[in-house]
Chains A and B, each alone.
Chain A
Amino acid sequence: MRRRIKDKSISGIRIGRGCSGLTITELAIALVVLVVLITISIHIYTNYISKARVTVANSVLDNAGKTLLSYQMDKGRYPASIDFTSCVDDQRLMVFAPGLCDQMKEELYSIESYSLSDTSYVLTVRARDNKHTLLTLTEGKITIQGR
């Protein structure tokens, strides 16, 4: 880098002003490269965070499916309706254990619907990711929106 010449001594020797070693420009370039790298990484990272939230919702829904299956084996039918605030059915019988009930409230963005047909049920929930991905559980099979 060219140095700006400003000072002059009594003997006539010119004194250059400037920083040796790494220059600000070089450092700024390195910083810009790093910031670009970090921006790309943040994009990848946020995708994984979203994926993690969907995976958690998937796992909660999987446990709910297993619980509903054991309910069906126990009672010979699926619950006609579920009150998801207390996790009980229309006859005030416990459907989901308190631990799972809390997990559903904390780890899911919303429980959209629960419906029962003659032989099967459909439970629809939304994950806590940015897109609030829709997950549908039908007879132990989970379908994730957009996959």
Chain B
Amino acid sequence: MNIQKRRIYYIEKKFQTKYILLTIFLLLTYTFAFIIIIFSPYILTLSLDFYSLSEKAEAARTLLLLHSKVWPGIGGIILLFGALSIFITHKIAGPLYRLKKSLSMIVEGNLDVKVKLRKGDDLKDLAEHFNMLAEELRTFVNTVRVDYDLLSEYILELEREIDAKMLTEESGRALIHKVEANRKNIEAVLEKFKIQR
């Protein structure tokens, strides 16, 4: 599988939208909590009547100072993290997209698949395991294919000998031994896979 340089950062739209929304949700929740914690003492001082005018004025001045300083920072942070979440999710979405495509190819029967991830991509371990699985499947199919070819050859040989009426007990037994060897090969490969019957 060729590695193409990914220029689009919005690959897995559904997946990335979900995590961008989650990031924005968390950022808004944190901002909401942060604002309540920061502003509430001054708002309380302003609201309660038992504070003197000078105390209220001091709280009001601090509140106005925070109001002018805090919001541009918070707005900047939300924008920055919103944009960053696209890049961060892209590091996961990219490999996931490749793995999904490769799995679809395997499902369709194409085993010549190898997932190669870009530098800095996440899920490299998963990609390695996927490549191991693909390699195992290739080995399995190759073994079965070689044994299938040999078995086909033995069947032809058997047919030829029967047609030529040359089949002796000795040659028959030799063919049975060869078939038995192939059967054992296939059995050994099949033993690796466990399925409920």
Within 8 A of A (CB), among B1-29: 14-15, 17-18, 21-22, 24-25, 28-29
A-B contact count (CB 8 A): 78
B57 touches A49 (CB 8 A): no
Residue of A nearest to B57 (CB): A59
Bound: A19/B93 CA distance, A: 12
Given A49-B63, A49-B64, A55-B60, the answer on whether A24 and B18 have CB atoms closer than 8 Å is yes
A59 touches B28 (CB 8 A): no
B43 CB-CB contact with A under 8 Å: yes
A55 touches B18 (CB 8 A): no
B57 touches A27 (CB 8 A): no
B56 CB-CB contact with A under 8 Å: yes
Given A31-B24, A49-B67, the answer on whether A56 and B107 have CB atoms closer than 8 Å is no
A116 CB-CB contact with B under 8 Å: no
Main secondary structure on chain B at its contact with chain A? helix
Using Cβ atoms and an 8 Å threshold, which residues of chain A touch B57? Answer: 55-56, 58-59
Interface residue from A31, A48, A62 paired with B25 (Cβ < 8 Å): A31
Using Cβ atoms and an 8 Å threshold, which residues of chain B touch A23? Answer: 18
B49 CB-CB contact with A under 8 Å: no
B118 CB-CB contact with A under 8 Å: no
B107 touches A9 (CB 8 A): yes
A38 CB-CB contact with B under 8 Å: yes
B32 CB-CB contact with A under 8 Å: yes
Q: Which residues of B contact A (CB under 8 A)?
A: 14-15, 17-18, 21-22, 24-25, 28-29, 32, 35, 39, 42-43, 46-47, 53-54, 56-57, 59-61, 63-64, 67, 104, 107-109
